[in-house]
């Protein structure tokens, strides 16, 4: 049975989006998730939503309890995860306002819990293809049909935050072939993979980080402004592809 977990920001738990919406509070062996779960249905598919940074966006990036969030979604029966995230662009062609569906990540974090298997047993999980290719294809087709500018199969680098990059770091990340940068995809995608859940990121390009000499360096106000402008596009994608996920026979994941 398919159930979709959504990790993201405000607006996604709107009663007009979810049918029969209700909130569920739960604990995990790793503490409390960063928000209550808002559960309901979209197009006949059960959905559970978590606000990554809390309902009031009060949790800084490395303070997010990623293990509790993923554990809670798995316990609620989620088989797939769609995660919205703001990213800075490291490529000229990925303009602010564009959507990005990455298929690879680079981990540049330093102090986050990145595995469920840190006690009693050691499990080495393949991370060659961390993102679900079926979900990427579905998101790309949906974006194309709705006329949304998008980029697929790109590399996201996750930094610790909450500070933004220096210019030297931004140029270094570009030299590493990273395409976009954020503070949230790792370890979220790793933990989802460990729990054998299909994971895809819907990344909104909000700025050019600080490498682009002709653009203003990124600020939080800039990110919020572009995110609010593009939030409706992300919701449209969710509403379009979630009912279609059941058409893909890809429940098993190794």
Q: What is the pLDDT of residues 206-230, one digit of tens each?
A: 999 888 877 777 677 777 776 677 7
Q: What is the pLDDT of residues 154-201, one digit of tens each?
A: 999 999 999 999 999 999 999 999 999 999 999 999 999 999 999 999
118 counts as catalytic = no
Task: Name the stretches of the chain with pLDDT < 70.
Answer: 9-16, 218, 226-227, 248-254
209 counts as catalytic = yes
For the record, the structure tokens of 79 come out as 């088989």
- pLDDT in the model for residue 231: 80
Instruction: Point out the catalytic residue in the list 13, 179, 209, 240.
Output: 209
pTM of the predicted protein model: 0.92
- pLDDT in the model for residue 216: 74
- pLDDT in the model for residue 232: 84
Instruction: Point out the catalytic residue in the list 207, 240, 249, 250.
Output: 207
Domains, the chain, ordered by start = 3-245 (3.40.50.1580)
């Amino acid at each position: 049975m398919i159930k979709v977990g959504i990790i993201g920001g405000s607006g996604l738990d709107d009663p007009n989006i979810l049918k029969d919406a209700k909130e569920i509070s739960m604990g995990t062996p790793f503490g409390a998730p960063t928000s209550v779960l808002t559960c309901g249905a979209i197009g006949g598919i059960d959905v559970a939503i978590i606000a990554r940074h809390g309902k009031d966006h009060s949790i800084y990036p490395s303070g997010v309890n990623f293990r509790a969030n993923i554990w809670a979604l798995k316990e609620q029966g989620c088989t797939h995860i769609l995660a919205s995230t703001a990213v800075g662009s490291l490529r000229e062609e990925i303009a602010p306002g564009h959507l990005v569906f990455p298929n690879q990540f680079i981990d540049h974090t330093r102090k986050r819990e990145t595995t469920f298997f840190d006690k009693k047993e050691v499990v080495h999980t393949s991370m060659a293809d961390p993102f679900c290719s079926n979900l990427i294809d579905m998101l790309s087709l949906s974006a194309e049909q709705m006329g949304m500018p998008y980029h697929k199969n790109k590399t996201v680098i996750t930094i610790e935050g909450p500070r933004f990059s220096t210019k030297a770091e931004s140029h270094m990340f570009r030299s590493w072939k990273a395409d976009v940068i954020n503070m949230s995809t790792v370890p979220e995608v790793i933990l989802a993979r460990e729990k054998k859940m299909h994971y895809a990121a819907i990344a909104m390009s909000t700025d050019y980080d600080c490498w682009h000499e002709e653009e203003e360096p990124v600020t939080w106000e800039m990110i919020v402004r572009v995110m609010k402008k593009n939030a409706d596009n992300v919701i449209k994608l969710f509403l379009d592809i979630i009912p279609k996920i059941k058409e893909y026979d890809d429940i098993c994941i190794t």
